[in-house]
Structure formats: structure tokens, C-alpha cells
Amino acid sequence: MAKIQAKVTMSKTFITPTISTVHSILTLLFPHTSVESVSKQSLEPAYLATYADESDHLVAVCACDIEFAANVSSALSMKQPAMAHEAIQAGKLDSELHYNLYEIMGLYTELLTDKSSPKIHLRNLYQEDEIPENVSEFLNVNDASIFCADLPIYGSGIFEFTIA
């Protein structure tokens, strides 16, 4: 398993997503989606996306529970909600849903930058059992931005952003 270089200092260069920016991106894809901020809680990540700068230094992570992963990835390809529920029961996404989640996490780079920010990219999308130790330290930290998205017909799920 490859190790990721991680900066442990907080960056002022990257943007912490807000409820407004998250809602704006999600409703472009999924109209009528509601998003709310969630108070601090311990997220059990099923998937974790890492974002890196041009030097391949970790700049942010986005972790999500299986419900968020299954619901948004099923909704993206307009699969029946039963497919999302099957993935939730199995605790993991099939290859098509995994690809869809990767695409959504790639769009999230827009939430982390503005015109003055350096370029970043989605570096990797890990399943729960693949998350490297030096990345897991960014989970459940005090300054994480935590959201709950509710997609009509599919259901809700939780995800969090942490700027490295």
C-alpha cells in the first residue's frame, strides 16, 4: 500500500466547504436534495477521498458513510433505490457505484478551492479497509465540516471534509 505524503499544518489556501457550497454542487446533480450541517459526531467512514496539490501533498480528505456513498452513486446513474439499499446492506459498492462515487468526489475539488487556490486533484478513493494510517489521522477531528445530505427517493447519508 502506497503511503501518502501528509502535511499536518492547517492550510489557509484551501476553502472549508459550507452548507451553501455543498448544497449548490449536490443540487446541480440531484435537484431537491437537502443538506444540513451536522454537529460533531464520530463518522464511521466506508469511503475516503484524498485530495492533493500539484506536488502530491495531501491537502484535504472527504470521508463518507456507506449510506451517502450508496445513495449518491446510485442516484448519479439513476439506478433504482433498491440498488443503493443492497449496497448499504452489503457494506460496500459494486464497481459501477464505486466509479460513480469517484466522479462525485472529483467534483468536490470545486468545494475546496477558489480563484486564488493552487490546483488540486482527487488523488484516490479508498474503501474502509484500505485507508492508510497516515490518512486516518484526519478523520473525526474537531475542525471537520460535517454534512448530512438527503436525496429524495434514495435516502440520506453523512460526509465530512477536513483540510490538512
Rounded to an integer, what distance in angstroms lies between the CA atom of residue 129 and that of residue 48? 10
With a pLDDT cut of 90, the percent of the chain lying above it is 71
pTM of the model: 0.88
Q: Which three cell numbers stand for residue 19?
A: 452548507
- Indicate whether 115 pLDDT > 90: no
- Indicate whether 102 pLDDT > 70: yes
Q: What is the pLDDT of residue 6?
A: 37
What is the pLDDT confidence band of residue 28, given thresholds at 50, 70 and 90? very high
Contacts of 117 (CB under 8 A, 6+ apart): 13, 14, 15
Q: Which CATH class is domain 19-163?
A: alpha beta
Helix/strand/coil for 156: strand
Question: For all residues of the chain together, what is the average pLDDT?
Answer: 88
Give the count of beta carbons closer than 10 Å to the beta carbon of residue 1: 8
Distance of CA 22 to the CA centre of its chain: 11
Provide φ and ψ at 63, rounded to 5°: -110, 150
- Indicate whether 9 pLDDT > 70: no
Mean pLDDT of 63-89: 96
The angle that helices 66-76 and 95-107 make with each other, rounded to 10 degrees, is 90
